[in-house]
Amino acid sequence: MKRGLTSVHTMIAAAMGMVLLAGCAAPTSVKAPSGGQAALTPDRFESTAVASVQTVAAPDLAWDRFFSDAKLQALIRLALDHNRDLRVAALNVEQARAQAVIREADLWPTLNAGIGGARVPTNSGGVSTTVTGGLSTTAYEVDLFGRVRQQASAAQAQLRASEFLQSAARSSLIAAVAAAHVNLLADQALLQVTQETVRSREEGLKVVQGRVKAGAGSALDEAQAQALLQASRAALAQVQRQKVLDESSLALLLGRPLPPEFSTAPANAAALAPMLNTAPPALRADLPSDVLRRRPDIGAAEAQLQAAQANVEVARLALFPRISLTASFGQASRDLSSLFAGGTWVWGVAPQLIAPIFDAGRARAGVAQATAAQQSALAQYEKTVQVAFKEVSDALAARTTLNEQLQAVHAQVQAETERLRLADTRWRLGASAYLEVLDAQRSLYAAQTALIQAQAQLLVNQGTLYKVLGGGAGHTAP
């Protein structure tokens, strides 16, 4: 008996020795560097627009309060219901949630119920039959060093990242639908302007041809008018093609065909005016630290960094010994029919300690791989932060200059309209060449096109600013 106890003590000492050796050999955990965030983020946003925009933070504003146009709201709702990218993001969240549940379940033993039997020969030449039935758990890992808990932590971090990515995809989709809707309205406005320009130049060509026949005009005037007419017809074909392409882009965002009331809407040069006249709620450009905290893409990058850090711990702890447990409890009988009637209670416990000694460097390579992945996640997080502040700064800068551009182009259209009227009057009176009329027509069309584009850019910028400031994240983020 004493010899048996000595043997047990020897096994325990050997096991403790392997634990200590593994602990000494394991590399230390890699921590993400701290204190470097100040180098990534500016102290403030350099934009004069910030001072005048002080009402509500974008993350606290639901999209249907910011985008007040009824038609746009209908399109956004369709996209939120049918867009495939958003559907994929939602399913990714479900996958990550299921994986987190699986990892959490690894912390608990799996209890199984089963019945088994064995027939073995006896020394007397007969056969012994034993039937067992009951509960059992197989290879349950006792999480002595926290490896399984780190796996669960990594899965939870991945779940948070998926939820943040879903929120970011939702905000991006809303802004993309708004931009596509604005572009389609701009196409319709430009289509009407171009059609009117074509009709005007057709009438001008007829007038020039009449004057040539009457001997009051030259063949050069007719050729110039003809060239300008063909140029406007080419522009009309280009606008029509762009309208079809923008309709296709919008349909892809919606995840279904464009509703008839949008695809067959008549061209209207004033289509953008209602949206411009109905200003959305003013957004507050918070401090950089607030944007860092509330943008869902930054939250996703941070969660992925946390998951990578947990995976480093998992790989490091793989160098430590593992203790697994197999146990059973039930009844045994010689006959299946009487197993649970008059059987004998039986139980068994089989713990197992496994310590890595030689694996040709596999475990250490796993630590190196996880460490590299963690450093990659850190670099991606830093890039996400830098991109976020670039987007915010660009959107704020564009907001100021686009307002100024729109006012200047609007005044230019008025001036070019008056110039064309005067040039046409002078030509009809014979006080100037027809070239002045053609030049005025070209300038007016260019100014009208620039006005529509500036209106569209301003409306798109409003949606972009809503997105880059974390629009609606407070309503959708985890």
**pLDDT tens digits along 27-50:** 444 444 444 444 565 566 655 444
Residues 6 or more apart in contact with residue 99 via CB below 8 angstroms? 155, 158, 159
Task: Supply 445's token pair.
Answer: 């069309």
Residue type, 140: Y
State the pLDDT at residue 381: 92
Distance of alpha carbon 258 from alpha carbon 83, whole angstroms? 13
| 186 or 114, higher pLDDT | 186
Domains of the chain and CATH, by start? 31-107+143-182+254-320+355-476 (1.20.1600.10)
Residues 6 or more apart in contact with residue 428 via CB below 8 angstroms? none
Q: What is the pLDDT of residues 406-461, one digit of tens each?
A: 899 999 999 999 999 999 899 888 888 888 888 898 899 999 999 999 989 988 99
| Percentage of residues in the chain having pLDDT higher than 70 | 78
Q: Are 118 and 62 in contact (CB under 8 A)?
A: no
State the pLDDT at residue 471: 76
403: how many CB neighbours lie within 10 A of its CB? 14
334: how many CB neighbours lie within 10 A of its CB? 13
Distance of alpha carbon 420 from alpha carbon 109, whole angstroms? 86
Residue type, 256: R
Instruction: Identify the sign of the CA torsion 414, 415, 416, 420.
Output: positive
Task: Supply 253's token pair.
Answer: 């965002």
Distance of alpha carbon 180 from alpha carbon 190, whole angstroms? 15
Q: What is the pLDDT of residues 370-399, one digit of tens each?
A: 999 999 999 999 999 889 888 888 888 888
